[in-house]
């Protein structure tokens, strides 16, 4: 990884730690082999801020587990029937009006190939569905 990658990872870790704490996590930590865990509700603001800064600025090299990414496919299936799909063909949730999903989770199952172009196409089509829905709501 180059410096920009490390900066992006550090920024992402900082944001994730803050989001987890704000969402009510009892403990937060990172994947770093020398990382620590913080019991959020027992920590004061100063301790929390110090923890987030120290953990997000740790170098990402030489981890006990590799940094990787995966396409989580099929966990929020798109379909025409709400009993066997989570979102409509437009990408809008069956259960929550105005909530759209535009990633590989809308696939019917996992693919055996890199789905980059397919994900881009789904995101593009879903974005148009959002624009159409917003256009209908204009006063």
Catalytic residues, by residue number, are 71
Closest residue by Cα to residue 21 from 1, 3, 43: 43
The two tokens of residue 133 are: 């829905």
In three-state secondary structure terms, 78 is: strand
Q: What is the DSSP letter of 54?
A: H
CA angle (100 as vertex; 107, 134 as ends), nearest 5: 140
| Cβ neighbours, 10 Å, residue 60 | 15
Tokens representing 53 are 């800064």
> Cα(44)–Cα(19) distance, rounded to whole angstroms?
17
């Amino acid at each position: 990884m180059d410096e920009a990658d490390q900066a992006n990872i550090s920024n992402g870790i900082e944001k994730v730690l803050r989001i987890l704490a704000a969402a009510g996590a009892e403990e937060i930590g990172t994947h770093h082999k020398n990382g620590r865990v913080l019991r959020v509700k027992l920590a004061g603001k100063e301790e929390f801020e110090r923890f987030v800064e120290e953990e997000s600025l740790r170098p990402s090299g030489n981890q006990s587990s590799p940094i990787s990414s995966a396409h989580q496919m099929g966990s929020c299936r798109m379909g025409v029937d709400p009993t066997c799909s989570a979102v409509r063909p437009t990408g809008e949730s069956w259960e929550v009006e105005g909530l759209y999903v535009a990633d590989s989770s809308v696939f019917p199952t996992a693919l055996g190939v890199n789905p980059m172009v397919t994900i881009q196409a789904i995101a593009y089509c879903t974005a148009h569905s959002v624009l159409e829905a917003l256009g209908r709501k204009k006063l």
